[in-house]
Amino acid sequence: MGLFSKDIKTMDDLFVHTLQDIYYAEKQIHKSLPKMIEKATDTQLKQGLTAHRSETEGHIKRLEQVFKLHGAEAKGVDCPAIDGILEEADEVLGEVADKQVVDAAIIACAQAVEHYEITRYGTLVAWAKQLGRNDCATLLQQNLDEEFAADKKLSKLAESGINRKAA
């Protein structure tokens, strides 16, 4: 038995467990985004985070569709990785006094979240295809594409002036 989960015996078990992991992660991310939005001072950053919070709602709905298609219950399992990333973001943002540095820190923290999601969705897309679940893979790919786009937008914001202002 694993430390954080029941026994995983098959690829299907692993697929469902990882779906539960990212489902929990998306819900935690959705809950934490308002704090980042509130602390952001750059208008474009605020708008981007607000838009991504709406996208996150869509990610959760797609995951619920994947659970349904796959015949599994839509539920989350504790994800120490995302909890740690979000906890670190809270700590970092609580320690920064300079508002311009806060925006750079928000981008860095948000990108850590995006990179975690990208790894999970990339894996899930590959496993769904391997399991012959192209219907699930298509929905998961949509989430993956949106996570890549969010990461790219964050990089563009950082490089277009937020990092320079923070420095």
- The 10s digit of each residue's pLDDT in 57-77 is 999 999 999 999 999 999 999
* pLDDT digit string, tens, across residues 103-116: 999 999 999 999 99
* pLDDT (average), residues 27-45: 95
Is the model's pLDDT at 2 over the cut of 80? no
Separation CA 148–CA 23 (nearest Å): 18
Of the candidates 56, 58, 47, the residue with the CA atom closest to the CA atom of residue 156: 47
* pLDDT (average), residues 65-92: 95
DSSP codes, 61-124: HHHHHHHHHHT--------HHHHHHHHHHHHHHHH--SHHHHHHHHHHHHHHHHHHHHHHHHHH
> To 5 degrees, how large is the angle CA 24–CA 51–CA 27?
10
Q: What is the mean pLDDT of the chain?
A: 94
Q: Around Cβ 85, how many Cβ atoms within 10 Å? A: 20
Is the model's pLDDT at 6 over the cut of 90? no
> What number of H helices and E strands is found in the chain?
6, 0
Give me the amino acid identity at 160.
Answer: S
The two tokens of residue 130 are 């391997």
CA distances from 102 to 5, 71, 85, 110 (A): 36, 43, 17, 12
* pLDDT (average), residues 118-124: 98
> To 5 degrees, how large is the angle CA 20–CA 23–CA 25?
110
